[in-house]
């Protein structure tokens, strides 16, 4: 009797292989591809989690995997799907706790089940077994820039200098932390959840666990949000009763912060699908906001007391969490997004009351999407002034404040020294005030 895909482990490995291939081919987020493909595969939650783990580690170490495979191939195969199958197999052998034989056997079987790759079983067997034999030597090599595309490496060296750029690249090889934002009493919740209270007010989980099973999830007492991502809303300093717009709001962590502070929030995003997730999150948290599916550039509304603009960006600051970003974005993307960010800043400026506050942020490491945007905005809008951020507003992390008074967090910055995942997402945050009355 034939074994099912679930029994042989083919299902999650096929999903991971397909997801890596489609993400690179279409240059779209891995999360979106996984969600789309998982519906068709109909896997158990456990198998879907395995598929996601394989795909994520493949992207996190894609440069290393390509280097390892090329060194062990006389001639790389022309079929990219075959290279991706080898990469997902090698990722499991080198970086996941999976028996070598299970990896090799499943990869061979996946190829044999594929009309275009059925002839490649022996080749795959030989390559992956060699990777397994030479695992120790492979892992002894340590060039963090291997897992950073060359064009990104060049940009970071130019912007941050080579030593710091290398630390950023090293940080991207580690799993991201899981941080929580709580409605109130973070110290008590940190103790109850067994987490560490960060100086910024976020809680960092020390142990990996199922989020939905933690105390307070069902009651809506907290939500998942990187410690750096929680800073912009805090720096806006929302007050009860203020009318605040959260532009490009989905998936809603910042909207929740503003609503929890008692503000009357308008959450705007062009994606109705992403706004549904925001609405679901607010319902769990028992928080309210007006939600509008519209391009923020087309928003027509009465002036606001404050605006938070978390602008669409290249997301290179989230590579620890979304390693596919490094391999699906380009310098042309950064150029186009920088133009959109400028237009959104101008739009936000026109929606503020005199004396109103504007916080601009991006989860990007690129100066065009951060520091240069802030300077260009002030040059275009003399009616605005920068409001410098002080160390005490961000937990005392003075190293995260630029000479101009903006915030620049980096994945390599340590916020919890004793924790094995102590970094932050890379964010840029600038705060402005409308000075004219």
Neighbours of 292 (CB within 10 A): 16
* Residue 151, domain member (yes or no): no
Residue 58 covered by a domain:
yes
Q: What CA–CA distance (Å, rounded) separates 136 from 100?
A: 14
Please provide the distance, in angstroms rounded to a whole number, between the alpha carbons at the two ends of the chain. Answer: 80
Beta strands in 270-422 (DSSP E): 290-293, 304-310, 352-362, 384-386, 407-409
Residues 240 and 136 in one domain: no
- 254 and 358 fall within a common domain: yes
Question: Which of 36, 65, 57, 238 is CA-nearest to residue 139?
Answer: 65
Tell me the pLDDT tens digit for each residue of 257-266: 999 999 999 9
Asked, for residue 206, whether it belongs to a domain, the answer is no
Q: Do 14 and 136 belong together in one domain?
A: yes
Residue at which a domain ends, from 81, 106, 141: 141
Active site residue 363: yes
List of E strands, 39-178: none
Is 53 part of a structural domain of the chain? Answer: yes
Split into its structural domains, the chain has a count of 2
Residues 262 and 388 in one domain: yes
Q: CB atoms < 10 A from the CB of 246, how many? A: 33
Would you say residue 19 lies in a domain?
A: yes
Judgement on whether residues 234 and 122 belong to the same structural domain of the protein: no
What's the order of all strands across the beta sheet hosting 222-224? 195-197, 203-205, 179-182, 222-224
Check 248, 313, 361, 363 and give the catalytic one. 363
Question: Is residue 170 included in any domain, yes or no?
Answer: no
Integer-rounded Cα Rg, in Å, for the chain is 23
Residue 332 tokens, joined: 């042309």
Tens-of-pLDDT digits for all 437 residues of the chain? Answer: 334 444 458 999 999 999 999 999 999 999 999 999 988 888 898 999 999 999 999 999 999 999 999 999 988 888 999 999 999 999 999 999 899 999 999 999 999 999 999 999 999 999 999 999 999 999 998 898 999 999 999 999 999 999 999 999 999 998 888 999 999 999 999 999 999 999 999 999 988 888 999 999 999 999 999 999 999 999 999 999 999 999 999 999 999 999 999 999 999 999 998 899 999 999 999 999 999 999 999 999 999 999 999 999 999 999 999 999 999 999 999 999 999 999 999 999 999 999 999 999 999 999 999 999 999 999 999 999 999 999 999 999 999 999 999 999 999 998 876 666 678 999 999 999 999 76
SS3 call for 140: helix
What CATH number does residue 350 fall under? 3.40.50.150
Decide the pairing of beta strands 427-434 and 384-386: antiparallel
For residue 383, the 8-state DSSP code is: T
pLDDT tens digits along 24-79: 999 999 999 999 998 888 889 899 999 999 999 999 999 999 999 999 998 888 89
* Residue-level pLDDT at 102: 95
Helix pair angle (80-95, 121-133), 10° resolution: 30
Compute how many other C-beta atoms are within 10 angstroms of the C-beta atom of residue 133.
12
Whole-angstrom distance, CA of residue 175 vs CA of residue 169: 12
Full domain range(s) for residue 62: 5-141
If asked whether residues 126 and 230 sit together in one domain, one would say no
Q: What is the pTM assigned to this prediction?
A: 0.94
- Cα–Cα distance measured from residue 172 to residue 291, given in angstroms and rounded to the nearest whole number: 34
> Residue 247: which of 262, 228, 266, 234 has the closest Cα?
266
- Yes or no: say if 344 and 298 are a contact pair by the CB < 8 Å rule: no
Residue 152 domain flag: no
Question: What six digits make up the tokens of 213?
Answer: 């099973």
- Whether residue 201 is contained in a domain is answered as no
> What residues contact 302, with CB distance under 8 A and at least 6 apart?
243
CATH classification of the domain holding 107: 1.10.940.10
Of 78, 109, 141, the residue that ends a domain is 141
């Amino acid at each position: 009797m034939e074994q099912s895909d679930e029994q042989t482990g083919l299902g999650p490995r096929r999903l991971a292989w397909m997801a890596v291939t489609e993400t690179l081919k279409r240059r779209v987020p891995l999360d979106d591809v996984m969600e789309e493909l998982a519906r068709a595969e109909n896997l158990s939650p456990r198998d879907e989690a395995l598929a996601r783990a394989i795909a994520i580690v493949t992207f996190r170490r894609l440069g290393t995997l390509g280097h390892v495979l090329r060194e062990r191939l006389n001639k790389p195969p022309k079929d990219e799907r075959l290279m991706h199958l080898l990469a997902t197999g090698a990722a499991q052998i080198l970086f996941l706790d999976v028996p070598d034989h299970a990896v090799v056997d499943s990869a061979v079987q996946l190829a044999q089940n594929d009309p275009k790759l059925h002839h490649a079983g022996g080749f795959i067997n030989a390559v992956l077994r060699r990777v397994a034999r030479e695992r120790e030597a492979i892992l002894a090599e340590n060039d963090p820039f291997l897992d950073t595309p060359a064009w990104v490496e060049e940009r970071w060296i130019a912007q941050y200098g080579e030593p710091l750029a290398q630390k950023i690249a090293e940080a991207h090889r580690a799993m991201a932390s899981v941080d929580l934002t709580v409605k109130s009493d973070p110290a008590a919740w940190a103790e109850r959840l067994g987490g560490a209270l960060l100086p910024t007010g976020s809680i960092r989980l020390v142990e990996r666990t199922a989020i939905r099973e933690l105390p307070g999830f069902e009651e809506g007492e907290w939500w998942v949000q990187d410690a750096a991502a929680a800073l912009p809303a805090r720096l806006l300093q929302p007050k009860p009763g203020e009318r605040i717009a959260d532009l490009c709001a989905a998936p809603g962590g910042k909207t929740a912060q503003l609503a929890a502070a008692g503000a009357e929030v308008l959450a705007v995003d062009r994606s109705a699908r992403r706004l549904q997730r925001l609405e679901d999150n607010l319902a769990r948290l028992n928080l309210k906001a007006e939600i509008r599916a519209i391009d923020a550039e087309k928003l027509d509304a009465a002036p606001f007391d404050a605006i938070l603009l978390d602008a669409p960006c290249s997301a290179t600051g989230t590579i620890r969490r979304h390693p596919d970003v490094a391999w699906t974005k380009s310098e042309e993307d950064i150029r186009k997004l920088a133009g959109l960010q400028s237009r959104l800043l101008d739009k936000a400026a026109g929606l503020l009351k005199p004396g109103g506050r504007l916080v601009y942020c991006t989860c990007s490491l690129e100066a065009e999407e951060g520091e240069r945007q802030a300077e260009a905005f002030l040059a275009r809008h003399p009616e605005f002034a920068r409001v410098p951020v002080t160390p005490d507003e961000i937990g005392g992390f003075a190293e995260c404040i630029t000479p101009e008074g903006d915030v620049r967090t980096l994945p390599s910055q340590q916020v919890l020294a004793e924790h094995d995942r102590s970094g932050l997402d890379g964010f840029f945050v600038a705060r402005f005030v409308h000075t004219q009355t």
